[in-house]
Structure 1
Amino acid sequence: MNQVSLKARQRTDTGKQVAKALRRDGALPAVVYGSGESSTPLTLDYREFEGFLRKTRGESVVINLEIEGMEDKKALLRDIQRDYLRNQLLHADFQQIRMSDRITTEVSLVMIGEPIGVTRDGGVLDQSLRVVEISCVASEIPEHLEVDISELSMGDTIHISDLTFENVEIVTDGEVAVVSVLTPMAEEPEEEEVDLEQEEPEIIGQAREDGEEEDGTEDEQED
């Protein structure tokens, strides 16, 4: 289990205007709650928190909140509010935990190996699930879960019900598909080009040429 420390300060002022002012000053408003204690509004360093997100992307970690003037708190990051139009972080929510508590959280799935259905048979690997919900003791939270896919043949699928991990119970529905090896789509044959040139129509009859005389002679008259 990976643990990361974050520095924080307790704050007493709350509200939208306070939050905006904090962000203008390079800080991020946050809150920590849980373990039977009242929620505590916090202030984080904006850039430090961005670095934390980059460092722990795709991994589940227990955070040691080092709150100035208070005892450290063990916590999980539960929610991040963002302004996607401005690409800006707005607020972070932390849930305080005890390391002996059994908790529910999400961890990422990492595929291990190369399926024989891909390397031997030319199939296409399709990973349809990348994050799974689990239940375990806080001290046993894995950074991620590894799934061995090396024996997958063409047409095979691994479902949640096929996965088992030590000290971890999977909460996600067992019928959910995780990864498959699909048959590649056949290429459509190229259409033959149609010859747009048309042969000249056959001439059935020809018009008489100008000045052509009709067959026969005029009757001669005797004087």
Structure 2
Amino acid sequence: MKEITLIVEKREGTGKGASHKVRQDGSIPGVIYGPETEPVAVAVKTNELSNLIRREGRTNMLIDLNVDGENSPRKVIIRELQRDPVTGVPKHVDLYQVSVKRKLNLSARVNLVGVPDGVKNAGGILQQVRREIEIACLPDNIPDNIEIDVSSMNIGDSIHVKDISIDNVDIITEQRLTIATVVPPTVIKVAEEIAAEAVEGEEAEEGAEPAEGEAKPEEGKVAEGKEDKPDEGKKK
């Protein structure tokens, strides 16, 4: 497991006013807590936290947290990250200080590796149904992600949670749930084809010849009983 570090500063004051001031200074308010420590209010630079999450592509990572004024780093994970609903910028972070002897429950990302035989040779479609699963493990055993080789899958094959096995990691997600499946190709008739068929049908009806024995009306001849009569005028 590679080493991931982050620097934070202790902050004074709590509440909306204090948090607002921290954000104005370009930082995010946060708190460190855990089973073996008292809560500590901290502030972390917004760009440093955002860059870390963007670089790692996840939040379930073990971080060596360097707290200003302390001699040794704390081992933490990001337990909760609140973001602005409009901009997506982090607004508050909860940092959980772990115990090296206690298992953690957390989510792990699932990555599919390879191209299934059913896709390469039969035109099938690979569908990833579940992109994360819940796991439990000691802090030092947190996986970066869970890789599953799908290259041998054919059309109709599926991989379920029960098929995953990771050393020193317990799988919590229900075993019967599907991770990925290869489905047959689907032929879809596009809307333009349907519309074209409808137009052809209408044109065929308009140009159809009258039935045998049915005479066409002669041009200029008024149908019987429909002859126009001059106005006779009203009697006074």
Q: TM-score range by the shorter chain?
A: 0.7 to 0.9
Tell me what 2:142 maps to.
141
Paired residues of 2:64 and 2:75 also in contact (CA < 8 A): yes
User: Aligned in 2, Cα 1:200/1:145: closer, same or farther, shift over 3 Å?
Assistant: closer
Shift of 1:85: 1.3
Higher relative contact order, structure no. (Cα contacts within 8 Å, ≥ 6 residues apart) = 1
Query: Structure 1: how far apart are the matches of 2:59 and 2:38?
Result: 28
TM-score (norm 2): 0.81
Unaligned runs of 5+ in 2: 223-236
Shift of 1:6: 0.6
Higher strand share: 1
Query: Structure 1: how far apart are the matches of 2:96 and 2:156?
Result: 42
Tell me what 1:97 maps to.
98
Aligned residues: 208
Q: Within 5 Å, give how 1:71-90 maps onto structure 2.
A: 71-90=72-91
Deviation sequence 1:106-145 (CA, Å, 0-9, x none): 2111111111111111111100111111111211111111
Tell me what 1:110 maps to.
111
Which amino acid is the alignment partner of residue 64 of structure 2? N
1:197 aligns with 2:206: yes
Tell me what 1:150 maps to.
151
SS in 2 for 1:61: coil
Report which stretch shifted further, 51-60 or 41-50: 51-60
Which amino acid is the alignment partner of residue 45 of structure 1? K
Query: Structure 2: how far apart are the matches of 1:203 and 1:5?
Result: 91
Unaligned runs of 5+ in 1: 209-223
Higher helix share: 2
SS in 1 for 2:53: helix
For the aligned residue pairs, the C-alpha RMSD in angstroms reads: 2.1
Sequence identity of aligned pairs in percent? 29
- Which protein shows a greater Rg? 1
User: Aligned in 2, Cα 1:15/1:121: closer, same or farther, shift over 3 Å?
Assistant: same
Q: Within 5 Å, give how 1:1-223 maps onto structure 2.
A: 1-58=1-58, 60-70=60-70, 71-188=72-189, 190-191=193-194, 192=197, 193-194=200-201, 195=203, 196-199=205-208, 202-203=215-216
TM-score (norm 1): 0.85
